[in-house]
Each structure stands twice: as C-alpha cells, then as structure tokens.
Structure 1
Amino acid sequence: MTRKPKPVKDSFVSMTELVLPNDTNTLNNLMGGRMMHLMDVAAAISAQRHSNRIVVTASVDNVSFREGIKLGSVITLEAQVTRAFSSSMEVHIDVWSEDIPSGTKVKSNEAFFTFVAVDQSGRPIDVPDAVPETATEQALFDGALRRRQLRLVLGGRMAPQEATELKALFDLVAQAAEDDTAS
C-alpha cells in the first residue's frame, strides 16, 4: 500500500540538550558516543514523524567531529527526512554548539542516518514519499539517491555497475577533467 506523500518539513525535529559532567570525557568535551546517541534519537524521531511507524537505524554515514563541545555548552540537533524510498528514509542531522555566556554558536557535527520503517513483527513496511519544498530541501533530496547507492555499494548490497547515479556523477567529473586538460 502506497501512503500519501508528505512534505519533508513535517519531519523536522529540533532537540536541545545541556552538556553536563556525566556527558564529558577527561578533557571536559562531550563524548563522541553520547553525541552519536543524541543524533540517533533526533533522527529516529524525524523518521517516525515522516512514516508514522516504528523505525530502526539501518546506517550512519560519516560523522565528523569538527569542534569539541565543552562542558556547559548547549547543543541543538536539527533533523529532517531528506528522501524516502520504499521502506527506508534518509535523515540529515545538523548539530550546533552554543556557548551562551560568550554568545557564540558553531556547527559542530553533521551526518546522514538511514532508517527503515517496520511493522509490529519487524518487517519492512512502505513509507510515504518525501516532498521537498525549498531549494535546500530539493538539493538534499537530489543528492539522496547518490548517497543511497554509495551506501549500498559499500555495504555489498549493490554491484557498482548498477549504481547509475554514481556512474553519471563520475562521468561528469571525468568529462570536466577532460575539458580542463583540453583547454
């Protein structure tokens, strides 16, 4: 059964946490595992909002820790579904760290998580299509198929020659390199 498409904005989640002593390492920075936990929770809520189903984490793309997040900082996680496939959804997460006394706010983390919607027996179930409405949402939506194919190829679930979106991207890069060489 195909479900009615939903705007991606309906899946938006904003979660705010205060970094407390129990969340930090010996350098008084937020522990990476704690950050991953918070990201997984925010992304799961986003996927549940989109699908109205139970969801399970299927994959996590590269999570880079750009800035250490200090004890006492306020972190805000923003998550939103970028695209839905048959039973899976890609969710983009931004993490912002704020030092309220100094008035500084920096983006500290970003990642893509993939969730699969499941029924009560744990079997994958169809999810609604995601409908982008802004230029940013459209750009994330457009890149989602390439990211999905890359995940599947790296996970051994798709043959590289079947990754048509990736092949098209590499063909464009090769053509641009040839054009630069010719000029």
Structure 2
Amino acid sequence: MSNRPTKFMRETLTIKTSHVLPPDTNHHGTLFGGKLMAYIDDTASIAATKFARNPIVTASTDSVDFIKPIRVGDAVTLEAMVTYTGRSSMEVFVKITSERLLTGEKAIAALSFLTFVAIDENGRPVEVPIVVPETDQEKWLNETAKRRAEHRKMRKRESEELAQFFSE
C-alpha cells in the first residue's frame, strides 16, 4: 500500500464559461476548433495544478472529440477534473457543453482527455497524490483510465517511430 497522500476528484473540479463572440468563430459562425482547444488546455491545466500544487506541463492531448457545433451567441462551459494519477502524471477529463442563451437549450459539444506531469523547479517529474473517485461517473472515469493510458503509450511509441522515420 502506498503512503502517498490522496485527494478527491471533486477537489480538482475547474469550471470556465465564456460567451462565444463573432471574433471567436469561423465563417460558419461556429467556435474555432483551435480556440476551444486553447480553452481546454487552460482549464485542464488549472485542474492539474490544483491537484499537484506544483508546476505542471502538458504531456499529451489524447483527443478532442467535437460532437456538436458551438455557435456565435452561445455560452461554452468547460468542466475539468483529474480522473487518474500515475506517479507524477495526471489524466484530466474535460466535458464541454454549449448553451443557447436565449432558449436555455444545452448539449454536450465536445469531450477531451489530456495528460499532465507535475515538475519541480528544475523541470524534473515529482510525485503527485493518488486521486480518489466518489461518484459513479468518477469511478467509471477512474476505472477506464488504465485502458486509455495503454492507448496513450502505444500512440507515443508510434509517434516516436514516425519522428525517427522523418528525421533520417
């Protein structure tokens, strides 16, 4: 059994809401994907830092699955929380919802998983607490994280092989 400290997932919950304005959108009147990705990284990094209470770096963005367009005039809300921890790494889940402000209609617009690593002042990885899920949703996210971690490792190996191929 580990003597590492523990923290509840709920302690990392980070919520950001923004109004989608015309400069944030493309010629279709929907939020730029890159703008949403910046919001995702920002919100997820806050959740990871709250958890680690150390500087963090983004190790990977597993996916950003765009499910429904976010339109000009909508509110976009991002909810991020640490769902799984390794020794120094943290998986962060981000749920993105859109809300038609004039009608109150809400929908899940995107989902994303990212991985962060806690570092010390010299940039070396440092140990993080163990995350503890409480609700059924949190338990599911935590229990399925090992499968996502295996995919992440496989994808990283493939990326390293590809980088080697193109550096020759």
> What TM-score results when the alignment is normalised by the length of structure 2?
0.89
Instruction: Indicate the SS of the match to 1:63.
Output: strand
CA deviation vs aligned residue, 1:71-120 (integer Å, no higher than 9, x gap): 11101100010011100000000000001102211100001110001111
Structure 1 residue runs without a partner (length 5+) = 158-183
2:42 aligned partner: 41
Instruction: Indicate the SS of the match to 1:62.
Output: strand
1:84 aligned partner: 85
1:54 aligned partner: 55
Instruction: Indicate the SS of the match to 2:40.
Output: helix
- RMSD over aligned Cα atoms: 1.4
Identical aligned pairs, as a percentage?
Answer: 40
In the alignment, is the contact (CA less than 8 A) between 2:63 and 2:114 conserved in 1?
Answer: no
Alpha-carbon offset, residue 3 of structure 1: 4.1
Distance of 1:102 and 1:7 partners within structure 2: 35
Instruction: Indicate the SS of the match to 1:86.
Output: coil
1:125 equivalenced with 2:129 (yes/no): no
2:18 aligned partner: 17
- Following superposition, which runs of at least 4 residues in structure 1 exceed 6 angstroms of deviation? none
Map 1:161-180 to 2 at 5 A: none
In the alignment, is the contact (CA less than 8 A) between 2:55 and 2:118 conserved in 1?
Answer: yes
2:110 aligned partner: 109
In the alignment, is the contact (CA less than 8 A) between 2:63 and 2:113 conserved in 1?
Answer: yes
In proportion to residue count, which structure has more strand?
Answer: 2
Instruction: Indicate the SS of the match to 2:15.
Output: strand
1:174 aligned partner: none
Distance of 2:4 and 2:44 partners within structure 1: 21
Distance of 2:95 and 2:113 partners within structure 1: 9
Distance of 1:21 and 1:123 partners within structure 2: 41
1:150 equivalenced with 2:151 (yes/no): yes
Amino acid at match of 2:108: K
Distance of 2:18 and 2:121 partners within structure 1: 31
Instruction: Indicate the SS of the match to 1:94.
Output: strand
Amino acid at match of 1:122: G
Amino acid at match of 1:156: R
Instruction: Indicate the SS of the match to 1:64.
Output: strand
Amino acid at match of 2:80: A
2:69 aligned partner: 68
Distance of 1:156 and 1:27 partners within structure 2: 37
Distance of 1:25 and 1:144 partners within structure 2: 34
> What TM-score results when the alignment is normalised by the length of structure 1?
0.82
Instruction: Indicate the SS of the match to 2:110.
Output: strand
Alpha-carbon offset, residue 62 of structure 1: 2.0
Instruction: Indicate the SS of the match to 1:61.
Output: strand
1:139 aligned partner: 140
Structure ID, larger Rg: 1
Instruction: Indicate the SS of the match to 1:77.
Output: strand
